Chain A
Amino acid sequence: MIETTAAPFPTIRVRPWLGRLAIAGSLIATFMALVWAPTDAVQGDVYRIIYVHVPLAWLAYLAFFVVFLASLGWLWTKRAWFDALAVASAEVGVLFTGMFIVAGSIWAKPTWGVWWTWDPRLVTTAVMFMMYVGYLLLRSLSTDFARRATRAAVLGVIAVIDIPIVHLSVLWMNSLHQLPTVLRAGGSPALDASMGMTLGICVIAFTLVYFAFLAERMSIELERQRRMFEARA
């Protein structure tokens, strides 16, 4: 049986604060990335795109992992808000993954000389993007609520296997892309301290933006669900 009365995610109370925090965090991160952080000795200022590229990569992983958790939640409990969380996170994840690929491409041109190359990290990321576009397509083509949620949840569980493949592809295969800089097995991040701090702030700011987007999108989906259940009743 579908649980529709569960208290929806606390979007109503935290939504305005999340938005404000995200804007404040973004302003601080922008200042640190463009002004405070030192210029790289090898790449010059072009390296500063790392402050967008890496947080976007993190958000892509986070968003799709949230889809996985929400999918498990739906399959176990049949609470409708899990489905709202899954679709909200998938849409935001697809947006951020698209931006992650574009940012990487912009960085690749001055450093590698090409916009795109058949590198394992690039290809696996593009495939992950396609996978979640397929997830959204599956949702859009299913009409019945419960069936759509169940089908999407099963795909959300299976698709999460791609996240470690994307992250570890640079270790498993010969790659032009640099090895993991922050989340690496060798210990602390391979970055200058001030660059690392700036990157940390950027990651926090982007994560706040993700949660702000997620809360907005989820509240829309919960409202849609409420209307649908009311119409049925």
Chain B
Amino acid sequence: MNALDRALLIAARELAAERRHPDGLVAALTFTGLLVLMESLAFGPGQARQPGNASALFWIAILFAATLVASRSFDRELEDDAIDAVLVLDGGREALYAGKLVAITVVLATVALAAALLSLVLLDLEVALPGHLVLTGALGILALPPVIVLTTLLALRVRARVALVPILSFPILMPQLIACTQGAAAALTGDASAALGWAGITAAFALVYGVLGLTIVPAAIE
């Protein structure tokens, strides 16, 4: 079994567990929906409909959802010490990181799709460039999990993990958050070149942190 097969096996196991007991997905969906509603209400309908505000509200909600999904995923690993069995396997650490990355990205994409539909309907947003919006959204979903999974691994058996993961990951994710927000706002307003530019930055960060995570993760997991 090669490294890719091992990673896909971990991802399949993770997604099967999520399908059987979708508590992480349900929690993230509920939380994201609630956050979009509360943020929009706090801003007021006129302000929340502004493209910049709407995309910022959406991506902040997705960022929080990503930490929730990752946290729940690793809680499941720790409950019965399943993680130890994976780590003793040859190449288990890289497989764990890559597998979690794939699975959390899939779950987060589901959450993002639901949250995007909710935002579009409730805020009655007009999308000038739907293709560009999908592209920036997809790249944003790929850009968040590498950092979230890595910081969750760093804080795995540390006290106050729930607080520590956002504290560690959010500053690192600031460029990605800005790129996703600006890219989505540009797609909503019809600025194609800006949307593609920000999408490129998002892709670059996704690639850098993905490769960095795979390189450094064996050292990060005890």
Listed in ascending order, the chain A residues whose CB lies under 8 Å from chain B are 75, 124, 127-128, 130-131, 133-134, 137-138, 141-142, 146-147, 150-151, 153-155, 157-159, 161-162, 165
| Structural contact, B155 and A138, CB atoms closer than 8 A | yes
Q: How many Å from the CB of A113 to the closest CB on chain B?
A: 25
Number of A-B pairs, beta carbon distance below 8 Å = 63
Instruction: State A138–B212 Cα separation when bound (angstroms).
Output: 20
| Structural contact, A137 and B164, CB atoms closer than 8 A | yes
Main secondary structure of the interface of A (DSSP, over half): helix
Instruction: State A228–B36 Cα separation when bound (angstroms).
Output: 49
Number of B positions contacting A (CB below 8 A)? 23
Given contacts A141-B160, A154-B216, contact A147 B222 (CB under 8 A): yes
Given contacts A141-B164, A154-B216, contact A134 B171 (CB under 8 A): yes
Q: How many Å from the CB of A32 to the closest CB on chain B?
A: 36
| Structural contact, A127 and B219, CB atoms closer than 8 A | no
Give 1 or 0 for each of B189-222: 1 = CB within 8 Å of chain A CB: 0000000000000000000110010001001101
Instruction: State A133–B147 Cα separation when bound (angstroms).
Output: 17
| Structural contact, B222 and A134, CB atoms closer than 8 A | no
Judge if B158 is at the interface, Cβ distance under 8 Å: yes
Q: How many Å from the CB of A54 to the closest CB on chain B?
A: 23
| Structural contact, A138 and B164, CB atoms closer than 8 A | yes
| Structural contact, B168 and A155, CB atoms closer than 8 A | yes
Q: How many Å from the CB of B116 to the closest CB on chain A?
A: 26
Contact of B212 among A127, A137, A142, A158 (CB under 8 A): A158
